[in-house]
Amino acid sequence: MSSIPQKKQNTRLKKILLLVLGLYLVMGFVLCLFQERLIFLPTVLNQDYQYQFHHDFEEVFLNTDNESVINAVHFKVDQPKGVILYFHGNAGDLSRWGNIAQYFTDYNYDVFVIDYRTYGKSTGALNEKALYHDAQFCYNYLKNQYRESDIVLYGRSLGTGIATYVASKNNPKKIILETPYYSLADVAQKRFPIFPVKPLLSYTFPSYSFIASLKCPVLIVHGTEDRIVPISSGKKLYKASNIKNAIFIKVDGANHHNLVDFPEYHQAIKSYLH
């Protein structure tokens, strides 16, 4: 008689385990299926949208292949020291990022900032290989107007992986990485620790493998309170670099979005772009 309650308990336990396993598999499937929506948060602009910025600029459209057009904004100053090719974060469009990127004109640099495919006015199918292709195309476009030794790469958050890739394939003057990651998988694993994210990711952005081969100087700036890309990921990336050519600036109290509110950020940029 006593074995009957035990059998019921075992049956109940099995049902609970199957339910938990089912939920786990469903959640994993949903994360895998919708990962692109979690990684990329674009906003779309009408093709006739008119940008308004404080500095002189030229709007540019580049046909990087037969199916895509990359929209960019080119800020220009008198007698520039060089040009900064700016790769922005994963949300918004040029109407926002143009306002942020034009900050560098105060250091007497021209600035060229692009919208990725599906962002703003840019079009084309989105994938990691295409992002690298477009970035290299834009780099080549600038090489036709500037000496390569005058091109500085700047990547912010998502854009750090793209900027690091371009730097590994070329010979820019310098590279600046704001809130960078060791790899996208490294960040995703910290956010979803119960899932085997590496084999599930369609986008990898292995910045660590790119940065190891860089010959140009590298500046990394990261906030200690960053909850989106933890500073531990930025430190791992720094250690993967040729440390002799790299500088790591830790900004105490800063999070992923407010580095510009701290004087340490501005001091680092000013010193690096002298």
Strands 110-114 and 68-75 come out as: antiparallel
Domain residue ranges in the chain = 34-272
Residue-wise pLDDT tens digits, 133-153: 999 999 999 999 999 999 999
| Whether the model pTM is above 0.75 | yes
Residue 224 is classified by DSSP as T
Once rounded to an integer, what is the mean pLDDT over residues 62-81? 95
Residue-wise pLDDT tens digits, 188-200: 777 666 556 676 6
Indicate if the pLDDT at residue 33 is higher than 80: no
Predicted confidence band of residue 272 (pLDDT cuts 50, 70, 90): very high
Number of C-beta neighbours around residue 88 at 10 A: 25
Our measurement of the distance from residue 223's CA atom to the centroid of its chain's CA atoms, rounded to an integer in Å, reads 15
CATH of domain 34-272: 3.40.50.1820
Number of C-beta neighbours around residue 203 at 10 A: 18
Indicate if the pLDDT at residue 98 is higher than 90: yes
Nearest-CA neighbor of 97 among 57, 131, 62? 57
- What is the H or E stretch that residue 72 is in? strand 68-75
In this structure, of 63-67, 150-154, 205-209, the range with the lowest mean pLDDT score is: 63-67
Rounded to the nearest integer, the mean pLDDT of the chain is: 89
d(CA 86, CA 139): 10
Indicate if the pLDDT at residue 60 is higher than 90: yes
Indicate if the pLDDT at residue 235 is higher than 80: yes
pLDDT score of 39 = 76
What is the amino acid identity at position 271? Answer: S
C-alpha count within 13 angstroms, C-beta hemisphere, residue 28: 15
Which residues is 86 bridged to in the sheet? Answer: 113, 154
